Amino acid sequence: MTAALTLDGLTAHYGTTKVLDDLSLDVEAGELVSLLGASGCGKTTTLRLIAGFLAPTAGRIALGGTDLTRLPAHKRNIGLVFQNYALFPHLSVRENVAFGLKQRGMGGAERRAKADEMLARVGLQDLAARLPGELSGGQRQRVALARALVIEPPLLMFDEPLSNLDAKLRVDMRVEIRQLQRQNGTTSVFVTHDQEEAFSISDRVAIMDAGRIRQLDTPEVLYQRPANAFVARFVGFENLIPLRVAARDGAAVTAEGAGGATVTLDQDVLGPIPDRFVLATRPDGLRIAEDGIPATLGLRTYLGRSYQYRAETPAGAYVASGPLSAPRDMGDRVHLAPWAEQCCILPDEAAA
Amino acid sequence: MTGRLHPGLIAFAVAVYIFLMGPLVIVIGASLSDTTYLTFPPQGLTLRWFERIFEMSAFRRTMITSFQMATLSTLLALLIGIPAAYALNRFRIALPSWLSTLFVLPVLVPEIVLGFSLLRSVQVGAGVPVFWALLIGHTLIVLPYAVRVVSAALASFDFSIEEAAISLGSPPVKTFFTIVLPNVQAGVIAAFILAFITSINDVSVSLFLTGPGISTLPIQILAHVEQFFDPVVASVSVLLMVLTVAVMAVVERTLGLTFLAK
């Protein structure tokens, strides 16, 4: 596969503040890649750089083999869908959709026919004569989508397109966007701070922090095998337990940690385990057991399927879970053992 | 709350209306009086004071000058003010905050001071002809209104709409005219009206900058009442009022319509 969009060493500053730090990214043709991160992580800056609304201080942007870095925004031919829809308030729905075609010099009748065809695809053929102000949020976002798609751009970009919609509509629109994107095979970049949204819609997700991509992978890999502590925390591995290997016996590894913690892990399930590592677990992956990591239980919360406990250990505070059949009280001294399906092995970043 | 208006409140509202409209009623009444002096209520009805205006070349001339000044200075102010307001709003983060204050400065300086300094520096100092010095003065006093009012309209404009147009292939300058301007037209019309009225009513700056052969209507009215006390000033005032309202109506219609027809 060839990369449709290539970002090569992009660096950007606001004044003297570096907001994007040597970011590189390849998006393959027809692929949808999400940029996911908290506000200020650089995801929107990246999108604005690709769109041409900002200029990078260093680096290169190429689309389909053409260098875009110095090309003005209106010549880049990129479809954009904005968070607040950004429809033209003084133009009808049809004129909104036809706007890009008009810029390309297409004649009135053809323009109208293409706009109406695109509106039919998003189910708004009956509203073509309305003004944007007369539409609901979901309808406006469909118009914005139609307006961006009708110019048949080689790249489609979404800037938090679903944030202004209510929860139910958000899920519906997400499916709709994905279907349209698949049908058209349009290479897409999707910016969001919503993990569920990014994971459900994307081929690959780039998790960003402080102007860098911390990991770029399929949602499945990110969710099960984060590569570092930042991504692990981001996808819900709340407990990061530093351990070192005490004994190896085939695939079975016995590891020890602070305060007499001893756990046994299976390399066949978790992959190769280095001598010093961090065991990352979700709350569900650290369970009350006969032996393992000694802990004192704190506050208990009822989660429907199980109880969740705050747990103090010599290595720090963790979040663990226990069965509904055996509720424990605050102050109980127990052991916590990892449950492999909700765990992963991280390199020891402090040692590295 | 009972939902009923207190009688005192109604009385107060009526009083305010009388206070606002009273002078206009008195001027209109006085202009129709069949006497050789200003009086209200009018004694007898005549339109001869309106005829008198056109027999007196000074009124005719200054009225033309006033409308020229108001139109030209308003257009100039919009020509400078709209791009300035755009830049101030579009690049708000990147620009120093005192820059927007700079455009309001002429309002903060007393007009007498402004008029006198323009007389000293532009007319006498640089030898600029009376008409052009007057135009500079008027543009200066109406510019703050243009910048402020258009700014207010742009402040609520979502600039991602502009970016959407650019991303669809519309060059930035074209986008300004086809997308940005139509969406702030209400502000532009309001700015036009405010600026026009400010210019046509101006006395203080004009007092210094009018010169031999060139004067504005308010200055001529002032000169007239210093010597005469006939109802001509009242009829001139009424005429000025009517013409101003007419210009406003035309602006409202034409600007509004051209934008709607895009």
CA distance B74 to B251: 12
**The pLDDT value given to residue A59:** 93
Report the pLDDT averaged over residues A15-36. 93
Contact by Cβ (8 Å): A157, A80: yes
Residues A42-75 pLDDT 10s: 999 999 999 999 999 999 999 988 999 999 999 9
Cβ neighbours of B161 in A, within 8 Å: 86-89
Q: What is the mean pLDDT of chain B?
A: 87
> What is the span of the domain harbouring residue B203?
56-261
Distance of alpha carbon B177 from its chain centroid, rounded?
Answer: 24
Q: CB B163 to CB A74 under 8 A?
A: no
Nearest chain B residue (CA) to A53: B163
Are A147 and B262 an interchain contact pair (Cβ–Cβ within 8 Å)? no
Residue B163 included in any domain: yes
Rounded Cα distance, B166 and A80, in Å: 10
DSSP-derived 3-state class of residue A124: coil
Cβ of A147 within 8 Å of Cβ of B171? The answer is no
Q: Which domains does chain A have, with CATH numbers?
A: 3-227 (3.40.50.300), 236-347 (2.40.50.140)
Is residue A281 over pLDDT 90?
yes
| Residues A293-324: tens digit of each pLDDT | 999 999 999 999 899 999 999 888 999 999 99
Q: What is the pLDDT of residue A202?
A: 95
Residue A287 three-state SS = strand
B23 inside domain = no
* Residue A217 confidence (pLDDT): 95
Tokens 């007057």 correspond to what residue?
Answer: B134
Residue B29 lies in a domain: no
With beta carbons less than 8 A apart as the criterion, state whether B96 and B218 touch.
no
Contact (CB<8Å) A99/B170: yes
Tell me how far apart the alpha carbons of residues A283 and A287 are, in angstroms, rounded to a whole number.
8
Domain assignment of residue B68, yes or no: yes
pLDDT of B251: 78
Confidence of residue B261 (pLDDT cuts 50, 70, 90): very low
CATH of the domain at B172: 1.10.3720.10
Q: A352 pLDDT band (50/70/90 cuts)? A: very low
Nearest CA in chain A to B161: A86
Q: What percentage of chain B exceeds 90 in pLDDT?
A: 35
Sorted by sequence, the CB contacts under 8 Å of residue A200 that are 6+ apart come out as: A174, A219
Q: Look at residue B256 in the predicted model and tell me its pLDDT.
A: 62
Which chain B positions have a beta carbon within 8 Å of A103's beta carbon?
168-170
Mean pLDDT of chain A: 91
Q: Do B168 and A100 touch (CB under 8 A)?
A: yes
Model pLDDT, residue B260: 44
Structure confidence at residue B103 (pLDDT):
82
DSSP element (H, E) containing A216 = strand A212-217
User: Which chain A residues are within 8 Å of B170, Cβ to Cβ?
Assistant: 74, 99, 103
Contact residues on chain A for B163, CB-CB shorter than 8 A: 51, 53, 73, 80, 82, 86
Q: Tokens at residue A81, please?
A: 């869908």
Whether B182 and chain A come into contact, CB under 8 Å, resolves to: yes
Domain membership flag for residue B96: yes
Per-residue pLDDT band for A1 (boundaries 50, 70, 90) equals very low
- B-chain CB neighbours of A87 within 8 Å are 161, 164
Is ipTM strictly over 0.90?
no
Residues of A in contact with B259 (CB under 8 A): 90
Q: What's the pLDDT at A57?
A: 93
Helices of type H across A185-343: 195-201, 219-224, 229-234, 267-270
Chain B residues within 8 A of A73 when measuring between CB atoms: 163, 166-167
Nearest to B161 among A79, A86, A104 (CB): A86
- Nearest by CB to B158, from A51, A86, A144: name it: A86
Is it the case that residue A157 has pLDDT exceeding 90?
Answer: yes
The predicted model gives B94-118 an average pLDDT of 83
pTM for this model (two decimals):
0.81
Is the residue at B17 inside a domain? Answer: no
What DSSP line would sit under B155-173, residue for residue?
Answer: HTS-HHHHHHHHHTT--HH
Q: Which residues pair with A253 in a beta bridge?
A: A248, A265
**Does the pLDDT at position B259 exceed 70?**
no
Angle, CA of B162, B164 and B165, to the nearest 5°: 65
Region of poorest pLDDT, from A97-101, B161-165, B232-236 = B232-236
- Cβ contacts from A onto B, under 8 A: 65
Tell which wins on pLDDT, B103 or B181: B181
Question: Hey, of B167, B179, B185, which one would you mutate to test binding to chain A, going by the most A CBs within 10 A of its CB?
Answer: B167
Contact present, B71 and B193 (Cβ < 8 Å) = no
Contact B160 A99 (CB under 8 A): no
Q: What is the pLDDT of residue B179?
A: 94
According to the model, what pLDDT value does residue B258 have?
52
Contacts of B142 (CB under 8 A, 6+ apart): B73, B74, B77, B194, B195, B196, B198, B199
Contact B159, B172 (CB under 8 A): no
Contact: B170, A87; criterion CB under 8 Å: no
How close is the nearest chain A Cα to the Cα of B98, in Å?
19
- Does the CB of B161 have a partner CB in chain A at under 8 Å? yes
Q: List Cβ neighbours of B15 (8 Å cut-off, separation of 6 or more).
A: none
Highest mean pLDDT: which range of A275-279, B43-47, B120-124: A275-279
The mean pLDDT value for B216-229 works out to 88
Q: In chain B, how many domains are there?
A: 1
Q: Mark yes or no for CB contact B168/A84 under 8 Å.
A: no
Interchain CB contact of B39 with A (< 8 Å): no
Q: Which residue, B104, B130, B163, is CA-closest to A99? A: B163
Which residue does chain A place closest to B94, by CA atoms?
Answer: A15
Neighboring chain B residues of A76 at a CB cutoff of 8 Å = 167
